Amino acid sequence: MRNKALSVLGLLALMLVLAACAPNATQSSLDPAGPTAQAEKDLFVPVFWTAVAVFVIVEGGIVLIAVKYRRKKGRDRMPPQMHGNTRLEIGWTILPAVVLAVVMVPTVGLIWDLARAPAPDALHVTVKGYQWWWGYQYTDQDMVTSADKPLEVADVLVIPEDREVYLSLESDGGLIVNDDPYKTDYQVIHSFWAPRLFGKQDVVPGRTNHILFSADEPGVYTGQCAEFCGLEHARMKFRIEVLSAADWAAWVANEKLGGADSADALAAKGQELFMNPLSDGRGSCTACHAIGGTDAGAIAGPNLTHFAADTHSCFAGCNWETSDIEALKAWLRDPEAVKLGAKMPNYQLTDDEIDALVAYLYTLK
């Protein structure tokens, strides 16, 4: 029995060691890439080791007592009867209380620090949760298009490195109201979480929550909705692309431009399909989507102005790479076939129409 108990404990210890060196976990809160996630980890790690110490003492005590005082064959022992020891019991009440009090001091400090006001030069972004994708609106005065509208992107939030970002979280669904209740985009609670950059905050209808964070290095960081929000909660993902100062300036300049008419014949056909109602009353792309610089200005679906920009590396809740042409075609052919409950309708597009639309979308750099 002792061997088994020890092997269970040994296995647990082994697991923890292995966990510490899992190089392929790409969304790990233990691998912070910015001061907010770093501060949260720095609070967790000492508490974790304190817990490990308590674990070793208590579990070790249980195993030692179990081994030492276990009944042995041929020995009928009447143990001494101990009913309690008040001083001892008060002691082991106060001791954990003291440990917890010590732990709570930096905890309370960080709660308030994370709730501080943003720096004056912080980048302000409003994050909007829909069923089941994320949209972002840049709300600083200089972050507007040539038509003087705020810059809007979907799926991938783009930010500069080393600059404080102040997110305002809003649940902005409810914009697609359909006779079919399964096709209605409901305003529900989401939670915005990029583990390597910041801990999560819920996106609650009727409220505005905030996250303050910054990223140390350029790179792409993944995240996803963490609060159960219905059918495709598992695939409501996003990326945060962090750019160097120079790349950021170029990105902003490009984002301010609207879409341009395409010279390519196929793409031009796609543009025509996109901008006009489809034949046989099948519906219209512009019912939900906006493309800057054109007449398409609906806000219920993702803004597609720069759909094919390098930074917009994934689409439809970040489940597919934008460069994956087959995935894009499959999505246009029947969204619900690849993402159950997707609110984008199946317009019964023909293969030719899909080819044209894909060609058009790929011109939206």
What lies within 8 Å, CB to CB, of 115 at 6+ separation is none
**Bridge partners of residue 191, in order along the sequence:** 202
CA distance 176 to 118: 33
Contact between 147 and 294 (Cβ < 8 Å): no
CA distance 288 to 298: 5
Best CA proximity match to 193, nearest among 236, 137, 140: 236
Q: Give me the least distance between CB of 140 and other proteins, in Å please.
A: 22
Q: Which is nearer to other proteins, 201 or 305 (CB)?
A: 201
Q: Give me the least distance between CB of 285 and other proteins, in Å please.
A: 25
Q: Give me the least distance between CB of 291 and other proteins, in Å please.
A: 28
Q: Give me the least distance between CB of 12 and other proteins, in Å please.
A: 6
Q: Which is nearer to other proteins, 294 or 346 (CB)?
A: 346
Q: Give the angle subtended at the CA of 146 by the CAs of 142 and 147, to the nearest 5°.
A: 105
Q: Which is nearer to other proteins, 114 or 330 (CB)?
A: 114
Q: Give me the least distance between CB of 195 and other proteins, in Å please.
A: 4
Q: Which is nearer to other proteins, 186 or 278 (CB)?
A: 186
Q: Which is nearer to other proteins, 126 or 224 (CB)?
A: 224
The identity of residue 351, as a single letter, is D
Cα–Cα distances in Å, from 115 out to 81, 156, 211, 227?
Answer: 54, 25, 8, 21
